[in-house]
A and B are shown apart, each in its own frame.
Chain A
Amino acid sequence: MITLDHVSFWYRGAGEPVLADVTLTIGEGELVVLAGRTGVGKSTLLGTVNGLVPHFTGGHLAGTVTVDGVSTRSRPPREFAHLVGMVGQDPLAGFVTDTVEDELAYGMEQLGVAPQVMRRRVEETLDLLGIAELRRRPLRTLSGGQQQRVAVGAVLTMHPRVLVLDEPTSALDPTAAEDVLATLARLVHDLGTTVVMAEHRLERVVPFADRFIYLPGDGSVRDGEPAAVLAGMPIAPPIVELGRLAGWSPLPLSVRDARRRAEAIRADLAAAPAPARPAPTSPEPPLLTAERVVVRYGTTVAVRGVDLDLHAGKVVAIMGRNGSGKSSLLWAVQGSGPRQGGTVDVAGDDPGALPSARARKLVGMVPQTAGDLLYLESVEGECAAADRESDATPGTCRFLLDSLAPGVDPDQHPRDLSEGQRLALVLAVQLTAAPPVLLLDEPTRGLDYTAKAALARQVGHLAKRGRAVVVATHDVEFVASVADRVVVLAEGEIVSDGPTAEVLGGSPAFATQVAKIIGPDWLTVSEVDDALKAAR
C-alpha cells in the first residue's frame, strides 16, 4: 500500500538528514506504530506518506514514496485526499468548519461526492465512531477525546485507504484514549484500512500494533514485529521493562500475555515485603489549605466545593477525565483564575486577594500550554526577565535551569527548544520566585519517556527541598513514579483521595500496567526490581 524506496529527507539548511535512506513497505490493513524520541523525525516520516513533506514543509526529499502505486512526487497532497487521511496532533487546529456534521462532510465536498452519498456516509461515520449525539455540536465545545474522534471521522468519510495519525492519544485521558484506539483497531479489522500512527504512550498502543517502526534518531529506522523491535529499544513501556527484568522471551505485549507468565514473579513478590512508600501527608501543618472552593462559568459548575490541603515535601497528583475540573481547581488555587466561593490560605494570605506579583511568590504555576509564558527571543533574555520579575539576584533563573536541564544554549530561541527543555525553562522561570507551592497542569503532554523520567526526577527534587508540588495529569505511569497522594476529581468533586498505591492500584481505569499484571500493591517496575533484588 505504502512504499518508501531509499527515502532521505533534509530540512532546508540542515546538514544532517532527518531520514536517511529509509526503505519500507507497509501492506494493506496493517496497523503500524512509529516510536522514537521527540524530534527524531516521526512526524516527518508520517508527512511523506501524503506528500505534505516536502510539498508543504519545504526541504529536499530523495528517493520515492508511493501510495497505492502513485508517487507523491507527481502530485500535491490535496490530490491524495481520497487515498490518505491525515489527522494532526492538535485536532482542533485542523478543523475547517465549526460543527461536527459540517466537518465530517468537508472532505467529501472537496472530492465532489454526490449529496446522497455524502448524507449516507456522514450517518455511517457518526455511528461507527459513536458520536451521533454530537452531530450538531460546535467543535470548540467538545472534549479532547470527542474532538479526536471527530477528526478521525472527518477523514474517514472520504473512505481513504490509509489513515495517518500523529500522536492521537497524547492529550486524552486513559478511557478516551482506549475509545480512540479501539475505533482504530475496528477500522483495521472491519474495513481493512491501513493505519500508520506515531505515539509516545507506547503502553497504550502496543497491544493494537501489528508492526513497529522505531526511529533511533540517526535517520535510520528499525522495522519489524512489535516484540522484536521493542526488545532492542532503549525506551519501552513498563510491560516490556518488566518482561526484560523477568527475562521473558518473546516479550509480552498485552497485559493478558504478561499475567499468564507472571506466576513466578507473583510468588516471589508475595514473600517480599510490600514496597515502602512515603506517607501521603505529613504531620506538620499544611503549606496550603483550600476550603470549599467553587468555580463556575455561567451555569456550568467546574469545581463544586473542593477541600484540599498541600503538605511540604509531598507530591499530589490530581487526576480525572477531561473536563472534570482539574485545571479550574489549579487556577483557582493559584489565584489568577476565577473563584466564586471558598477560601485559600497560604501562610495566612489568600493568593487570590493579592496582586499577581505577590501571589506567584506563594503559589507558582506552570499552565497547560507552558509556552504562553515565554515571549522573548532567547533563553538568556527569558532568564534575565524572570530574575527582574521576581527581584531575585541575577543568575538565579539560569542556575535553576541548569539544575533542571543542564546545557541549554542561552542564545537559542525558546520556541526552538525541545518540549522537555521548554518545560524546564518555564519551570525555572516560575521557581525563580521561590514559591513554597508549585502547581503543574498537564506537564507530561508531548514528552517522550526520557523527558518524562527527567521531569519525574525534577519533581522529586523539588519535593525533597520542602516544596508542595501538585501535578494534574492523565498519565498513570508518571503519577505512579512521582506522587505520594492521588486526588481523583469527577464533575468538580473529589471522588477519591488517598495514597497513590491505594487509589491507583484498586481502580481498573487508573491501574498501572505493573499493577494490572502483578497486583494492586505494585505500581512500578522499579519497585518490583528493588523487591526482587532484596529477596535474592
Chain B
Amino acid sequence: MFGTYFLPRDLHPAAWWVWALGLATAASRTTNPWLLGLIIAVACLVVVARRGEAPWALAFRLYLVLAGFIVTMRVVFRVIFGGAEGSTIILRLPEIPLPAWAAGIRLFGAVSAESVLGGFYDGLRLATMVVCLGAANALANPKRLLKAMPAALYEVGTAVTVALSVFPQLAESVQRVRQARKLRGGTGKGVRALRGIVIPVLADALDRSLLLAASMDSRGYGRAGVATTRARAATGALMVVGLLGVCVGVYATLDGSTPRYLATPVLVAGLAVAVAGFRAAGRRVHRSRYRPDRWQLAEVVVAASGVAVAVVMFGTSRVDPTNLNPSLITLSWPLLSWPPLLGVLAGVVPALLAPPPVLATPEEVPA
C-alpha cells in the first residue's frame, strides 16, 4: 500500500481546497500576528513543495503581492482617517479641517500606536486568508475541480471550461490583430483604432465559437441518452419544486414574523426534494469520466491536516482567547501559547506527506 503512496500524481483538487479552507478558517479566528505569519509561512512552504508547473501554479506570487497590498492599505487608511483611538500617540500630523457636513470624518491628525496596530492586525488577518485561497488555487487545477462536479452539473461545467479557455484565445487574437494593424500603419488612437482591433477580434471569436459548437455537437456533447420525455419532466419538476421549497424556507427562517411551520420544516423538505431531483438528473446523464481523481489516503491526509488546524484554533479560542486576539488597549508584545502554535504547524504536513505533483517535462527516462 505504501509502495505506491509517494509516486508522483495530482491530488484530488477538493483535498487541497479543504486544507486551504481549514487554514483560512483558522486565520479568521485570530489576530495574533505570530500565528498569522506562521499560517502564511506554512501555506508558502506547502505551495513551494507541492505545486506543479501550470500557469495557475505560478500565479501564487500575485496572491502574495495582493496580501502585501491589503496590509499596507489597512495601515495607511488608519493613518489618514482617524488614527487617534488609544493613548500612545506616535505621530502628530497636521489635521485637515473639514466642513461641518463631513462631521465624523477626520483627515490626518494624531496617530496612535493602538490604531495603527489594529489596522495592521486586521489587514494581516484578511491577507492571510487571501494567501490561503491563493495556495489552493496554486495547488489544485481549477479545471479538474470543475470536472469533479456532480454529473447533473456536467454541462454547466463544460460551459465554464470552454468560457475559461476563451480568455487566453481572446488575448492571443488581440495581440495578433494589433500586430496586423501595425502593418497597415495603424498606430492611431481613439475610436477608429479601437474599431480596427475590436471588429476583427470579435469576428474571429464568433467564427471560433461556431466552429467549436459544430465540433462539440458532432462529438456527442449533449446527447440525450436513454431518458424518456416523461422521466425528464419528472426530474425537472422535482428540481423546481425543491428549489421553491428552499427559497420559502430560507425566507421564513430569516423573517421572524412568518409562521414557524414555514421555516425549518419547509427548508428541510425543499432541500430533500431538490437533492432527489439532482440525483435523478445525475443518473439520467449517461456519461463517464476519464481518469477521475480518486479520493485516496493522501487526500485524506491533506484534508485532515487542514481540518486539524481549524479545529485546534476553535478549541483554543474557547480555552484561551486572550493570546489569539492580542489586546489593543494595553499595548504589549503579543504572546504565543503552545496549543495554537502546534495546531498551525499541523498544516505543514502536506509538504512532507502529499505525493509530489507530476511535472510536464520529466527528466530523461532510461530506456
Residues of A whose CB lies within 8 Å of any CB of B are 50, 52, 55-56, 76-82, 84, 86, 88, 90, 93-98, 101-102, 105-115, 118-119, 122, 136-137, 140, 154-155, 158, 331, 334, 336-337, 355-360, 364-367, 369, 371-375, 386, 389-390, 415, 429-430, 433
| From A112, A154, A337, contact of B219 by CB (8 A) | A154
**7 more CB-based (< 8 A) A-B contacts, given A86-B214, A94-B212, A95-B215:** A77-B217, A96-B212, A110-B287, A112-B287, A154-B219, A365-B183, A433-B185
Chief secondary structure at chain A's binding surface: helix
| In the complex, B216 has a CB within 8 A of chain A | yes
Check B218 against A106 for contact (C-beta < 8 Å).
no
Check B184 against A78 for contact (C-beta < 8 Å).
no
Please report the number of residue pairs spanning A and B whose Cβ atoms sit closer than 8 angstroms. Answer: 161
Give the chain A neighbours of B358 by CB distance below 8 A: 136
Distance to closest chain B CB from A185 (angstroms) = 23
Query: B255-307: which have CB < 8 Å to A?
Result: 286-292
Give the chain A neighbours of B200 by CB distance below 8 A: 371-375
A147 to B172, CA, bound (A): 18
Check B180 against A372 for contact (C-beta < 8 Å).
yes
Check A86 against B290 for contact (C-beta < 8 Å).
no
Check B220 against A110 for contact (C-beta < 8 Å).
yes
> Can you show 30 pairs from A to B with CB atoms below 8 A apart?
A56-B213, A78-B218, A78-B220, A79-B224, A81-B218, A81-B219, A81-B220, A82-B220, A86-B214, A93-B208, A93-B215, A94-B214, A96-B216, A98-B165, A106-B219, A107-B220, A109-B290, A113-B288, A115-B288, A115-B289, A118-B288, A119-B291, A140-B168, A154-B219, A364-B183, A367-B179, A372-B204, A373-B183, A389-B184, A430-B184
Closest 4 pairs between A and B when the two form their complex, measured CB to CB = A81-B220, A94-B215, A105-B290, A357-B185
Give the chain A neighbours of B289 by CB distance below 8 A: 109, 115
A52 to B220, CA, bound (A): 12
A118 to B186, CA, bound (A): 51
Give the chain A neighbours of B197 by CB distance below 8 A: 375
Chief secondary structure at chain B's binding surface: helix
Distance to closest chain A CB from B366 (angstroms) = 15
| From A94, A366, A375, contact of B196 by CB (8 A) | A375
Check A115 against B290 for contact (C-beta < 8 Å).
yes
Check B221 against A78 for contact (C-beta < 8 Å).
yes
**Chain B residue with minimal CB distance to A106?**
B219
| In the complex, B317 has a CB within 8 A of chain A | no
A186 to B161, CA, bound (A): 34
A82 to B223, CA, bound (A): 11
Give the chain A neighbours of B225 by CB distance below 8 A: 112
| From A78, A94, A98, A367, contact of B223 by CB (8 A) | A78
Distance to closest chain B CB from A190 (angstroms) = 23
Distance to closest chain B CB from A401 (angstroms) = 15
Distance to closest chain B CB from A105 (angstroms) = 3
Check A93 against B211 for contact (C-beta < 8 Å).
yes
